[in-house]
Amino acid sequence: MTVDGSDETGATGGPATLPGAPTAPGAANGESVLLEVRHLVQEFPIRNAGGVKGGMLQAVSDVSFTLRAGEALGIVGETGSGKSTLARSVIQAPPPRSGEVIFDGVDLTKLRRRQLGPLRRHVQMVFQDPYSSLDPKWRVKDIVAEPLVAYEAGDRRQRQARVDELLDLVGLDPETYGARRPGQLSGGQAQRVAIARAIALHPQLVICDEPVSSLDVLVQAQVLNLFEKLRQELALAYLFIAHDLALVKQVSDRVIVLYLGKVCELGPSDGLYAEPLHPYTLALLKSIPDTDPTIRRARTKEVISGELPSPLDPPSGCRFRTRCPRAQARCAEEVPVLRPLRKDHFVACHFPLHERGGGAVGAAGTAVALGEASA
Ligand code: SF4
């Protein structure tokens, strides 16, 4: 079954099934779809030094997925893969060039700018660098109270109580930290403040854009634990963006792997980490320190080389083909369509790594030894 129906130009004939939508676990369990992204394309004009427009850069190319209420969906890819652009397109900052973003039944792409204001109550962002997202002159308690004041949530006393509650929730003692300013906090503490502010208005969705990348490893683990705890306690849904598959593993039910703006693979975390289907996913897994046995099992002798091609001039056919050790002639001629290979597990590759029961297979089911195919 084709799930994406896109052609080489990104034009679509409409999906039969969006990845993770009606056939996904959770949907079958009666969990509601909170966010549905359909055929999202984001482009930016290219200008030369003189400011003259010279074509368009397609940063996100025909991406579709769904996110259920309370679900955590990881989005992974190298710098330049389009993951942050995708996240910002979801919140219409800026609106995508084409496609639909349906949040809680409302297509955000159809709303005017001022109609998007109330969205902030329901969708919040946490950024990579907490210090740059916090006003250095403000005290912690005022930073956390800011969205409550902006949306006139409760009176002054109620807001103070809510700020204390939020600081407690993120593991900061209000007495100790409420009067501090961002410069008096460690990176982990500052990110906790940013998280407290993000959840102040009881959002349904928090978009986390590399939220632990700037923290040291020990603090990363603590903040990831906090994200997971808050998800359990507050039924939050996350779009969790990272360049490192290891980071999203801990907090994601499912994972999307992006390469040059296109989805390579989308699947449940357990399956994707244990038995990746796309050579690029495998390459990302190989870059993880060799400590996790479930990931170690998925590793092979295949290696990735070369630089990410320019999104201004992506390779024909499969965009990964210039770095793929399995590439064949077909890969240069035909754009691989995102298709389900297992239950809820989708891949865009003519020669995916595994089929049910293990073993590498060609698209027609012909066995291909790993590393045998060459560019
Ligand atoms: Fe792309 Fe071909 Fe490699 Fe699959 S085998 S990732 S289609 S280049």
- For 310-325, the pLDDT digits (tens) are 888 899 999 999 999 9
pTM of model > 0.85: no
CA-closest candidate to residue 28, choices 16, 20, 17: 20
Could you tell me which residue, 28 or 185, shows the higher pLDDT? 185
Residue 11 pLDDT grade (very low, low, confident, very high; cuts 50, 70, 90): very low
Residue 54 pLDDT grade (very low, low, confident, very high; cuts 50, 70, 90): confident
Query: Given the CA of residue 330, which atom of ligand 1 is nearest to it?
Result: 2
Q: Ligand 1 in contact with 319 (CB < 6 A)? A: no
- DSSP lists the bridge partners of residue 238 as 72, 206
Dist. CA 302–CA 286, nearest whole Å: 9
Three-state secondary structure of 255-297? EEEEECCEEEEEEEHHHHHHCCCCHHHHHHHHCCCCCCHHHHH
Cis check for the bond before 94: say yes or no (omega within 30 of 0).
yes
Dist. CA 126–CA 172, nearest whole Å: 17
Check pLDDT > 70 for residue 245: yes
Dist. CA 97–CA 94, nearest whole Å: 9
Query: Given the CA of residue 279, which atom of ligand 1 is nearest to it?
Result: 6
- Structure confidence at residue 148 (pLDDT): 95
Q: Ligand 1 in contact with 262 (CB < 6 A)? A: no
Q: Which two three-digit tokens encode residue 187?
A: 């990176």
- Structure confidence at residue 244 (pLDDT): 84
Query: Given the CA of residue 318, which atom of ligand 1 is nearest to it?
Result: 1
Q: How far is CA 171 from the centre of its chain?
A: 25
Q: Ligand 1 in contact with 353 (CB < 6 A)? A: no
Express each pLDDT in 149-175 by its tens digit.
998 898 999 999 999 999 999 999 999
CA-closest candidate to residue 313, choices 38, 50, 79, 80: 80
Residues recorded for the chain: 375
Check pLDDT > 90 for residue 238: yes
- Structure confidence at residue 372 (pLDDT): 27
Check pLDDT > 90 for residue 4: no
